[in-house]
Amino acid sequence: MRCAIVGLGRIGSLLEDDTLREKPCTHAGAIAANPNCTLVGGCDIDPVRRQRFAERWSCSALYADVDTLLQQTRPQILCVATHPDSHRRMVERAAAHGVPVVVCEKPLADSLRNARAIAALHRRRRLTVLTNHERRYSADYHNVRAAVVDQRFGRLIAMRATLCSGRTKRHDRVLLHDGTHMVDVINYLAGGTLQPRKRLGSMRANTSSAFLYAVVAGVPVVIEVGAERDHLLFEIELSFERGRIRVGNGIYVFEQSIESPHYQGFRSLSPAESPPPAVTGYFAGMLDDAVACVGDPERRPVSSAEDGLASMRFIRALRSML
């Protein structure tokens, strides 16, 4: 499959040099690692990034204009890793040039209107759009989803999530960017679509936390979006009749109910046998899905434009709540 990338920054290419991250962890890295794909070109308005990309990936077909990229390289898969305010234009240009599959970074767009327009192109079969909500492709989240479906610890009772990504970022901006991952993976794990109910705290603040209350597939959910922390925190807790699972960035804990060793007549949570996967395959799985969509235009992506739109709708509704 002929693959091209527009936007040669962090998620497009640069993060591949992060020695601590599982590889591949960028669009370029995923293309290079996939035997069914070849990198045919890249696009960025920054000449320094184009030069760095050329040296890193031995790619000479580099352009400052997306139309020129598409005309000259004719990709079957276009990865859009630009700023969200350009996503709609990039997807529309891909459709105009007959690109069959676009992988669009999250959030799907900078506004609900533009996200709807992208999803409409997908629905009208102008092209297939994947939203890169990467956790849908990750083995650790697959295992958690299987535990929910199989009722390993009984029925799912409630969910709680925490998201912090900096000291000074406003809550609404955190929610629009990293929060799209949070919203989408809650939908994925619960097998439904989050419906907002209430908000406590200002979304425009960058102090303390805002608390978002919602329901998904009949399960109550509380999401905390926080600031003033010097660390990244992305964690989801799933509470079951007979156990608990915590999953997130660097977090993978399964617990089961046992007869309490501390209190007579009670039960307590104890670690359950569930080793974390050695490799999650999150970026590799995304590109495999894109390749499959080229081969089958009727295929619904694991993470579709509609999934990206659902996250945007939820976030927009909460941001507008008084």
Name the strands in the sheet holding 243-248, side by side, starting at the edge strand that comes first in the sequence: 195-200, 209-216, 219-226, 156-164, 233-240, 243-248, 251-259, 267-271
Helix 305-320 to helix 112-123 angle (10° resolution) is: 160
pLDDT for residue 214 = 97
Six token digits for residue 299: 């295929």
Q: Is the pLDDT of residue 199 over 70?
A: yes
Give the CATH class of 139-277. alpha beta
Separation of CA 322 from chain center: 27
Residue 298, CA distances (Å) to 36, 76, 127, 174 in order: 20, 15, 10, 34
Q: 2-135+282-304 — its CATH code?
A: 3.40.50.720
Distance CA 149, CA 139 (A): 15
Cis peptide bond N-terminal to 24, omega within 30: yes
**What ranges make up the beta strands (E) of the chain?**
2-6, 38-43, 62-63, 77-80, 101-104, 128-131, 156-164, 195-200, 209-216, 219-226, 233-240, 243-248, 251-259, 267-271
pTM for the model: 0.96
Six token digits for residue 6: 């527009």
Residue position matching structure tokens 């105009």: 96
pLDDT for residue 322 = 56
Q: Are 301 and 287 in contact (CB under 8 A)?
A: no
How confident is the model over 42-85, as pLDDT tens digits? 999 999 999 999 999 999 999 999 999 999 999 999 999 999 99
pLDDT for residue 166 = 87
Residue 232, CA distances (Å) to 166, 175, 273, 293 in order: 7, 13, 27, 34
How confident is the model over 263-319, as pLDDT tens digits? 999 999 999 999 999 999 999 999 999 999 999 999 999 999 999 999 999 999 987
**Which residues of the chain does CATH 3.30.360.10 include?**
139-277
How confident is the model over 105-133, as pLDDT tens digits? 999 999 999 999 999 999 998 999 999 99
How confident is the model over 214-269, as pLDDT tens digits? 999 999 999 999 999 999 999 999 999 999 999 999 999 999 999 999 999 999 99
Cis peptide bond N-terminal to 107, omega within 30: yes
Q: Is the pLDDT of residue 149 over 80?
A: yes
pLDDT for residue 191 = 98
3-state secondary structure of 211: strand
Q: Is the pLDDT of residue 176 over 90?
A: no
SS3 annotation, 183-202: HHHHHHHHCCCCEEEEEECC
**Which residues of the chain does CATH 3.40.50.720 include?**
2-135+282-304
